[in-house]
Homo-oligomer: A and B are copies of this chain.
Amino acid sequence: MQEKGLDLLWVTSPPNMNYLSGYDGWSFYVHQGLLVSLDAEEPVWIGRHIDVNAARITSFLDEANILGYDESYITDGKHALSFVADIVRSRNLGNSRIGVEMDTHYFTAKAYAVLSEELANASFFDADHLVNWARIVKSGAEIAYLREAGAITDIAMRAAIDAIDVDVRQCDVAGIVFQNLISGHPDYFGDMPDYQTLPMGENTSAPHLTWTDERFKAGDICTLELGANRYRYHAPLARTVFVGDPPDGIKRLAAIVGEGLEAALDEIRPGVQAQSIESVWRGITRRAGLRKESRIGYSVGLGYPPDWGEGTASLAPGDTTELAENMTFHLIIGIWNDHYGYELSETFLVTETGAECLSALSRELIVKDG
């Protein structure tokens, strides 16, 4: 904030709110945020009055820094950002230089219009991803949660692979996946899953479709992209399952993707640029005739719906972020052809000398007898 010349920051992004205050409630469908002032010891949580108890329970904030707006802001046409503006003015901060997260999911066009109109003497600056970038290197406590999340993801992935079989409904496999993601580990629970996909057949040709009640049959392909989380710290993982005897084309694709992913993982160490990881992948797989246009990974960690990515570094051409120890990425290869898809991924931690994958599962195409 000091570098950017900001006096105040209005933080709307749920993972950023969590990172700065501990707040963890499923309340982000209404306007809420943290007011971070350079001059104050603690941020101020502002949200709907019915969520004040959640802020008391989950955040470390002082009672005086938890402020709820009443129900008239939900049902009577009053806007919650007017309430925020009132608080800013009442603290004599109406002339501040205020950072706002312009392109974050829950900071709507209207929220900004109301805030900037009601604080006409303030100046506004785009502080999008300012907090996200501060999150990119993980602490020991964060890494512990991510490793636990990785262990739960493996439990759920193994259960999914075990359950897939001819005549089993896809939704029954998905149900088992969610049960395992949430029941978690014998020693610790899994938190509310964000998005998980489990498409089958032609639906695998698109990355963001889910399951149906179709039954598996010989010749089906199924991509599993799962991510358990511990206190919202996610460890995603993707594998692809083939029911029956896979055609040579799919076996070849699996081999190329596997080779490319191994080579990319080998390249990881502190000091290497994010784009170099993608470039190694691209070199190997292009020679084998495979083209993929989207990025092959992104920084991962604390997340709330609709996204477990952190919105900062990407493993993509042009991204010059230097990898550093204790960064975590989801390295995901998704190939979406016209009629089917193939996915393989690892969530890794950058170590002093390389990469530590959070999953212990093997990386081959998984074949279930048809």
Question: Which residues of A are in contact with B by a Cβ distance under 8 Å?
Answer: 24-29, 49-54, 56-58, 70-71, 74-76, 79, 100, 102-113, 126, 128, 169-172, 174-176, 178-184, 188-193, 195-197, 202-203, 205-213, 293-295, 305-307, 309, 314, 316-319, 334, 336, 338
Question: A57 contacts which of B102, B203, B213 (Cβ < 8 Å)?
Answer: B203
13 pairs, A vs B, C-beta closer than 8 Å: A26-B210, A50-B208, A52-B206, A54-B209, A74-B316, A109-B109, A110-B126, A112-B112, A171-B182, A171-B184, A171-B189, A178-B193, A189-B213
Instruction: For A54, give its contact among B54, B107, B208 (CB under 8 Å).
Output: B208
Which of B52, B111, B182, B211 has a CB less than 8 Å from the CB of A109? B111
| A306 CB contacts on chain B under 8 angstroms | 26, 28-29, 106, 305-306
Known contacts A58-B209, A102-B110, A210-B26; A294 and B192 CB within 8 A of each other = no
Chain B residues within 8 Å of A76, by CB: 318
Residues from chain B with a CB closer than 8 A to the CB of A58 are 209
Q: B202–A57 contact, CB under 8 A?
A: yes
List 16 other contacts, CB 8 Å, given A110-B128, A182-B211: A26-B208, A26-B210, A29-B309, A53-B205, A53-B206, A54-B206, A75-B295, A75-B316, A75-B318, A105-B105, A105-B108, A106-B306, A110-B126, A179-B179, A191-B210, A192-B196
Given contacts A53-B336, A293-B70, contact A319 B110 (CB under 8 A): no
> How far apart are the CA atoms of A191 and B190 in the complex, in Å?
20
CB atoms of A51 and B206 under 8 A apart: yes
By a CB distance below 8 angstroms, the chain B residues around A56 are: 206
Q: Which residues of B contact A209 (CB under 8 A)?
A: 24-26, 54, 57-58
**Is the CB–CB distance between A182 and B192 below 8 Å?**
no
Bound: A212/B179 CA distance, A:
14
Chain B residues whose C-beta falls within 8 Å of the C-beta of A317 in the assembled complex: 75
CB-nearest residue of chain B to A178:
B178
Question: Do A29 and B307 touch across chains, with their CB atoms under 8 A apart?
Answer: yes
Closest to A294 in B: B71
Write out the residue numbers on chain B whose beta carbons fall within 8 Å of the beta carbon of A172: 183
Asked if A182 and B189 sit within 8 Å, CB to CB, the answer is no
**Most-contacted residue by chain B among A57, A75, A79, A197 (CB, 10 A):** A75
Q: Judging by beta carbons under 8 Å apart, are A182 and B191 in contact?
A: no
Which one of A102, A183, A307, A319 has the highest number of Cβ atoms from chain B below 10 Å of its Cβ?
A183
| Nearest 4 Cβ contacts at the A-B interface | A171-B189, A109-B112, A175-B183, A103-B110
The answer on a CB contact under 8 Å between B176 and A192 is no
Q: How many angstroms from the CA of A229 to the CA of B102 in the assembled complex?
A: 32
Query: A326 CB to closest chain B CB, in angstroms?
Result: 23
Give the residues in chain B near A188, CB-CB below 8 Å. 213
